[in-house]
A and B are shown apart, each in its own frame.
Chain A
């Protein structure tokens, strides 16, 4: 509780934890968009999420080796991962689209092991980062320090979110995606090529992960085996926000980022992850308990 006292004595650090956490959450939310999309439209839980993020990070990293500013990595990684995602769909995912959700978890888990190992062979297992050299924002006599890249990340998340909503509402393929999400069968009857819709959705998800990875490699560090935490976070965010609710995803993402930061500060970093996962269990049980009173359950 000493730590809590510390926050009460010096509220400026509360501000630091809050801002920093919220902005970190924005990065998590970006990958969570994709997961919500794939889950909602294709009924697939994509465990490969984290590996796509790391792969996006490596694309940006290699771009920066070529002397190009890593910020360009955001669109480039997105594009590269779009292609990767399309390929993964054509190779594996299309076989499991209309299967049990559980099958998708295991199949994508297999892909994620495979990708981890391939990245290890291709890029090596070193810890990597690409410094965008954007500097840091200091407030209150340096007591609040926020890396500027995190503000960029927030902007990217918001802009991407808006573009995504516009895309789903206005464009032909976006409308097809929404139609397929509502009823794949009806969509097929209406002449929509659902296979293409699924491929696009999955590739779009990979692209979102690629952009996330680009931000991750500029903000923190990456290596081939660190993807799982991004999968799990996307998962948490989508669970809390519910499917098909992009604004909810942003809020849940920001909330998760802040919650992690405060948990790490107050309980010590060793219990940061324990707190987050216990929270997941409690949220689910609690939501189900509330529904249970109405003789319903989480669907």
Chain B
């Protein structure tokens, strides 16, 4: 055992030394570069969305840098993002936030993808008093914890499909029926984001006195919805709400058509990232589907960095070869909010920057940004689009609607 103890001692000592030597280098501002930190999902189940997020950040950074960078204290700074891969798991996310802040010395954070990961990271950033601007954590449970350093540019997830429930109620009224006669079916993935959507829908259904006939939580390793859809066929609801990231959107579009589920209104999320209007993949199966979206390239917002929403979509497509889903747009917007706050604070002091963030009043190509006391953006509505003739058209809310709702769907 003697030699053994030595070996162990050596291995432990060397390993601790290695740990000590790793990292430790950069600070929040290196020379003329402002360093932002982000954990994104490059592997695991959110990889696709993680790439959208990262590309959104990258595009914003390169645009801001090419337009002269960020001016603080009369000096121009460039932006840089340090990325880590959170492997789509909250346990990693929490450790990463700590690593970014403590080892890499990051003082300005960007959000990860998904509510679950944001939930895991927010307590850490809060503890270290490091502000985080995020564009992909929509769960409302993030915003009742009293977090002071969390700012979200997107609308919270319970709003995603509430508009659809309201549309169903309006339609019932127009037909001379009471909204309480409407039967609602909900099938959402078993993750924080989708469960929040469910909570929003259930709240609204309750408000209208509607009856919820199906309430299924779909497993995360979802590959088949036929058991739920059989239930839907048996109970004939007036509106079916499905949320399950792009996997859920893809499955419901295929299986609802394949099983001839005749539900007058189908409202889902993540249409864009699942590409449900792609004729090659889905034909016309998505026709009439209602899609919740945070942002659409047809909206009329503008900003000095990208121009209009449409210009942004064009630039993004030129850079990455596809039309940006809203996940990319909201990520880009998060960077723009940082730029604005840093310039307004005119300082790198995190408290000053935090105050500048909370006073943000800004229009970006993505929409207006104004945070309430809890850090969520209250200046931007959700939009509901319908697939009509293979294209997305805005049908609600009325302010943005370009087309009339087709009801029931074909």
Q: Are the C-beta atoms of A13 and B233 separated by less than 8 Å?
A: yes
Interface segment, one of B102-110, B124-132, B202-210, B223-231: B223-231
Chain A residues within 8 Å of B283, by CB:
131
Is A136 touching B259 in the complex (CB atoms < 8 A)? yes
Contact A264 B227, CB 8 Å, known A269-B219, A270-B217: yes
Which residues of the partner chain A approach B224 to less than 8 Å between Cβ atoms?
24, 220
Q: Within 8 Å of chain A (Cβ to Cβ): is B48?
A: yes
| B258–A143 touching, CB < 8 Å | no
Interface residue tally for chain A (C-beta within 8 Å): 42
Q: A17-B227, A220-B251, A269-B228 are in contact. Are A145 and B258 (CB under 8 A)?
A: yes
Closest to A225 in B: B45
Task: Assess A124 versus B281: contact at CB under 8 Å? Given A138-B260, A268-B217.
Answer: no
Interface centre among B45, B224, B283 (most CB of A within 10 A): B224
Could you list 25 A-B pairs, sorted by A, with CB under 8 Å?
A: A6-B234, A13-B230, A13-B234, A16-B230, A17-B227, A125-B45, A131-B282, A142-B233, A142-B262, A143-B233, A145-B233, A145-B258, A145-B259, A220-B251, A221-B247, A221-B254, A226-B221, A229-B223, A262-B227, A265-B227, A269-B219, A269-B225, A269-B228, A270-B216, A272-B219
Q: Are A273 and B227 in contact (CB under 8 A)?
A: no
* A20 CA to B282 CA, complexed, in Å: 22
| B215 to A, closest residue via Cβ | A268
**Chain B window 249-290, contacts with chain A (Cβ cutoff 8 Å), 1 for yes, 0 for no:** 011001000111010000000000010000001110000000
- Residue among B217, B221, B251, B258 making CB contact with A228, cutoff 8 Å: B221
**A6 near B216: Cβ-Cβ < 8 Å:** no
Asked if A157 is at the interface of the complex by the 8 Å CB criterion, the answer is no
| New A-B pairs, 9, CB < 8 Å, besides A131-B281, A226-B221 | A6-B235, A13-B230, A222-B223, A223-B247, A225-B45, A265-B227, A269-B217, A270-B219, A273-B221
User: What does the 1/0 interface line of A3-42 toward B look like (CB < 8 Å)?
Assistant: 1001000100100110010001000000000000000000
Complex CA gap A227/B224 in Å reads 14
Q: Measured between alpha carbons, how far is A6 from B258 in the docked complex, in Å?
A: 22
Q: Are B223 and A226 in contact (CB under 8 A)?
A: yes
Complex partner residue of A117 from B43, B231, B247, B258, CB under 8 angstroms? B43
CA gap between A129 and B285 in the complex, in Å: 14
Q: Is B44 an interface residue (CB 8 A)?
A: yes
Which residues of A250-298 have CB atoms within 8 Å of chain B's CB atoms? 260-262, 264-265, 268-270, 272-273
* Other-chain contact of B247, A127, A261, A262 (Cβ < 8 Å): A127
Residues of B within 8 A of A240 (CB): none
* Given A226-B223, A265-B230, also A145-B260 (CB < 8 A): yes
Which of B44, B47, B215, B226 gathers the greatest number of chain A CB atoms within 10 Å? B226
* A21 vs chain B, min Cβ distance (A): 8
Contacting residues of chain B (39-91) with chain A, CB-CB under 8 angstroms: 43-45, 47-48, 51
Bound-complex Cα distance A299 to B230 (A): 40
**Alpha-carbon gap, A224 to B43, bound state (A):** 10
CB distance from A48 to the nearest CB of B (A): 17
Q: Mark A130-152, 1 if CB is under 8 A from B, else 0.
A: 01000010100011010100000
Max count, chain A CB within 10 A of own CB: residue among B47, B48, B216, B227: B227
Interface centre among B221, B235, B262 (most CB of A within 10 A): B221
Q: Which residue of A lies closest to B190 (CB)?
A: A270
Residue B328 at the A interface, CB < 8 A? no
* Bound Cα distance from A261 to B225, whole angstroms: 9
Bound-state CA distance A270–B190 (Å) is: 7
Docked-complex contact B260 and A20, CB < 8 angstroms: no
> Which 8 residue pairs across A and B have the least CB separation, nearest first?
A125-B47, A264-B227, A270-B217, A145-B259, A220-B223, A127-B250, A265-B227, A269-B216
Quick check: A17 and B246 within 8 Å, CB to CB?
no
Q: Which residues of B contact A138 (CB under 8 A)?
A: 260
Which residues from 367 to 410 on chain B have a C-beta closer than 8 Å to any C-beta of chain A? none
Q: Which of A214-259 contact B (CB under 8 A)?
A: 216, 220-226, 228-229
**Nearest chain B residue, comparing its CB with the CB of A147:** B258
A residues less than 8 Å from B226 (CB atoms): 20, 24, 261
Question: Do A120 and B43 have beta carbons less than 8 Å apart?
Answer: yes
**Min distance, Cβ B237 to any Cβ of chain A, angstroms:** 13
Cβ contact within 8 Å between B218 and A269: yes
A126 at the interface (CB under 8 A from B): yes
Residue of A120, A145, A269, A272 contacting most chain B CB atoms (<10 Å): A269
What chain B residues lie within 8 Å of A6 (beta carbons)? 231, 234-235
Flag if B234 contacts A261 (CB, 8 Å).
no
Chain A residues, Cβ within 8 Å of B44:
225
Return B307 CB to nearest CB of chain A, in Å.
29
Whether the pair B260, A3 counts as a contact (CB closer than 8 A) is no
CB atoms of A129 and B250 under 8 A apart: yes
Which among B187, B250, B274 has the highest number of chain A CB atoms within 10 Å?
B250
**Chain B residue nearest in CB terms to A224:** B47
Within 8 A of A (CB), among B157-210: 187, 190
Which residues of A sit under 8 angstroms from B231, Cβ to Cβ? 3, 6, 265
Chain A residues with CB under 8 A of B235 = 6
Best-buried of B233, B260, B281 by chain A (most CB within 10 Å): B233
Least CB distance, A291 to chain B, in whole angstroms: 33
| A10 partner residues in chain B, CB cutoff 8 A | 234
